[in-house]
Amino acid sequence: MARRTTAGLVGAFLLATATAALGHPPPPMATRELVRLQGHRTETAGPKVKRRLQLTALGVEQPFAATDWQVFGFSDAPPAAAPTPSAAPERFMLQGSRQMLARFAAVRPEQTVTILAEHRPGSRSLFVLTLDVCPP
C-alpha cells in the first residue's frame, strides 16, 4: 500500500511539473546575423561604395570597399536600428579556415569578392562561411 501511495505521489508530481513546463515560452535564441558583403579589396572609394572597411585576415589588415552590405538577423528580439556608416573605415577580423583567408589575402583589386559570414552584434569578428572571387 505504501508503494502505491508513493508511486501515485511521484506520478502526480511529474504530471504537475510537465504541465508547468508546457506553459512557458521557449528560451530566446542568441542574437546572430548572417552578413553578405561584396566589393573590392582596395582603398579607392567610388560612387557605388556603401561602406569602407578594414578587414584583418591572417594578421594583416586589408582595405575593403563594400559595394553591397546585407544583414539577415536571427533573433526573437525586435531588430536594432542599423548603424549609420561613418567616414572612417570600420574594422572587422575575418575568422575562418586558413585556405579561405589565404584566398582573400591573394585577391587583386580588380576582382570582386563576395563574403557570406556569421556575425554577432557588438563583435568585430566575421566568421566566414563562404568566399567567392570573380573573375577567378
- Tell me the domain boundaries of the chain: 32-134
By the 10 Å C-beta count (0-12 exposed, 13-18 middle, 19+ buried), 55 is classed as: buried
**pLDDT at position 10 over 90:** no
Q: What angle do CA 56, 61, 67 make, to 5 degrees?
A: 75
Contact between 136 and 103 (Cβ < 8 Å): no
Share above pLDDT 70 across residues of the chain, in percent, rounded to a whole number? 68
Task: Tell me the pTM.
Answer: 0.71
pLDDT digits (tens, 9 = 90+) for 121-135: 888 999 999 999 998
pLDDT digits (tens, 9 = 90+) for 51-92: 899 999 999 999 999 999 998 887 666 655 655 655 566 899
